[in-house]
Amino acid sequence: MNPELIQAAADNPWMAIAPEIALAGLALLLLVAEIFLPKSKHGLVPSISVAGQLGILVGLLVNWNGASVGQPLFNGLLMPGAHTQFLRAFFVASSLLVSVLGVVALAKQKMPKVEFFVIVQVVSAAMMLLSQANHFVLMFVALETVTVGFYILVSYVRTNPLTLEAGLKYLITGALSSGLLLFGIVLLYGVAGNPTLPGSSADSMNFDALYGFLQANPGNFLASLGIVLVLSGVAFKIGAVPFQIWIPDVYQGAPTPVTAFLAVSSKAAGFAILLTLVNVFSPYAGLVATVIAIMAAATILFGNLAALTQHNVKRLLGLSGVSHAGYLLIGVLASLTVPVAASAIYFYLFAYLLASFAVFGVMTHVAGENDADQELDHYTDLAKTNPFLGGILAIGLGSLAGIPPLAGFMGKLLVFMTVFAAAGAPVGPLTAGCYYGLLGVAIVGVVISIYYYFGWIKAAYFDTWRAPLLEGETDPTPARTPVACWMRLTLGLLALASVVLGLYQGPVAGWLLLR
């Protein structure tokens, strides 16, 4: 080929989003495959999905440095930054793992199987775009693609009333939060598009233009209101207090792979967009810092305290996920003054992905036909009857609790260290004492969390006694699904990665921290 053609291909913005296109294209391919394959071959569809996603992930990793970093695409709709390459790989990996869990979990339900994979992939592609958004229109469209996809996924098992309830609750609270977000966007668009104000722009939904306007107009009331409302909308995604209220019900009702998807990808997408927005809003750092600091403290305390008394493991994970959002929020606060905090957050999210999928993987095998009914009691005896699942569970929960030498510990340590560093230059009305106070709250939260995480491990390892069944009583513990060979491999790799990353962070942390 002649070099001009290659140059043209490289300059083509569509090439830059090839992974997203491939992922969505794969989704269409699955639909086509379903139509043309005979019914007996429908079992192939999940395999095609997993193999295709694996291929995309490998392609992304191979072309790691091929991205046009720092070049605005599509007239500034997208801005591939230094971290977006990591996030894209993160979302593809998460999508892949959700699909793997889906294969196990859907086998227990009498539901159509293909749509699940299709929607997961489309949602993931939207998240990948979301992480690169540089414009409110693209951000909102991508976000709605994600949210609408989740409405379907949460209520996927239509035969289960709890799932339907969860779907309805997610729909209404999600719509409400989208409303808040949109209202905020409109306010910002309006005020930044006002030609009588300095720094106004015709394209005021563009983040760069908005940043310029906010810098030129400190203390504008409408702008601060817009900022707060936009932050509220994002807070819903990450499950920060007071917008966390939907989490336990929805997490419990949603099928387990979807819960994992919500817990990992949706939360990570929320933090990706939050980190972008915090940069855009940085001229109003005082306001942003206050809002985030208050939310973070409330989120850590509330998430941990509420998780303490849960018996249903999905609710427990949901509320513990709320507390993780709180730890990450103080990292976001630190990122206002210490840019490296963003890297710490991404490391934390990666450790969280490894540990969460390990735990959710165990859960899909312990759960029975009624997916919403997953109690701590069901884990009695697990370590004895299935030491493999017991071991994975212990590593996953240990990493979530932040026990050294697992990856979760290093994630917490990195985030807390950046907060400690940020205390040297407090923002706005906050004092250094506020940062130390937040760290104190976070450490208290971690201590509380050890109680419920280890309560779960205790159930699996030490509670070996079961009450004998009375006559006519059926065993309330669902039968455990045998672990397939490829699932063993997946879970084993996740646990191994948690251990290795806890002992030696070199490649991942090195790459993240250098940027």
225 binds other proteins (CB under 8 A): yes
Q: Give the interface size with other proteins as a residue count (CB under 8 A).
A: 41
Which CB sits closer to other proteins, 149 or 167? 167
Which residue in the set 150, 243, 327, 453 belongs to the binding site for other proteins (CB under 8 A)?
243
How far is the C-alpha of 57 from the C-alpha of 53, rounded, in Å?
A: 6
Q: How far is the CB of 484 from other proteins (least distance, A)?
A: 20
Q: Which stretch binds other proteins (CB under 8 A): 108-116, 122-130, 150-158, 221-229?
A: 221-229
Burial of 178 by CB count in 10 Å (0-12 exposed, 13-18 middle, 19+ buried)?
Answer: middle
Q: Which stretch binds other proteins (CB under 8 A): 17-25, 87-95, 169-177, 206-214?
A: 169-177
How far is the C-alpha of 391 from the C-alpha of 346, rounded, in Å?
A: 26
**3-state secondary structure string across 185-249:** HHHHHHHHCCCCCCCCCCCCCEHHHHHHHHHHCCCCHHHHHHHHHHHHHHHHHHCCCCCCCCHHH
194 binds other proteins (CB under 8 A): no
How far is the C-alpha of 495 from the C-alpha of 362, rounded, in Å?
A: 11
The residue count of the chain comes to 515
Mention every residue, 6+ apart, whose C-beta is less than 8 A from residue 228.
184, 287, 291
Q: Which stretch binds other proteins (CB under 8 A): 86-94, 105-113, 130-138, 224-232?
A: 224-232
Which residue in the set 306, 328, 389, 401 belongs to the binding site for other proteins (CB under 8 A)?
306
**Amino acid identity, residue 268?**
A
How far is the C-alpha of 346 from the C-alpha of 265, rounded, in Å?
A: 12
**Region label for 132, one of left (φ > 0), alpha (ψ between -120 and 50) or beta (otherwise):** alpha
Which residue in the set 49, 85, 177, 323 belongs to the binding site for other proteins (CB under 8 A)?
177
- Contact, 364 vs 101, CB < 8 A? yes
**Amino acid identity, residue 155?**
S
Q: Would you state the structure tokens that stand for residue 45, as one six-digit string?
A: 């569809």
Residues 486-515 that bind other proteins (CB under 8 A): 503-504, 506
Which CB sits closer to other proteins, 28 or 444? 444
Which sign, positive or negative, has the C-alpha torsion 346, 351, 357, 359? negative
417 binds other proteins (CB under 8 A): yes
Which CB sits closer to other proteins, 89 or 509? 509
Q: How far is the CB of 362 from other proteins (least distance, A)?
A: 20
Q: How far is the CB of 169 from other proteins (least distance, A)?
A: 6
Which CB sits closer to other proteins, 26 or 446? 446
Which residue in the set 52, 102, 239, 248 belongs to the binding site for other proteins (CB under 8 A)?
248
Which CB sits closer to other proteins, 235 or 272? 235
Q: How far is the CB of 224 from other proteins (least distance, A)?
A: 4
Which residue in the set 100, 143, 205, 228 belongs to the binding site for other proteins (CB under 8 A)?
228
How far is the C-alpha of 108 from the C-alpha of 90, rounded, in Å?
A: 28
**Binding residues vs other proteins (CB under 8 A):** 168-169, 172-173, 176-177, 180, 221, 224-225, 227-229, 231-232, 235-236, 241-243, 245-246, 248-249, 287, 290-291, 294, 302, 305-310, 417, 448, 451, 503-504, 506
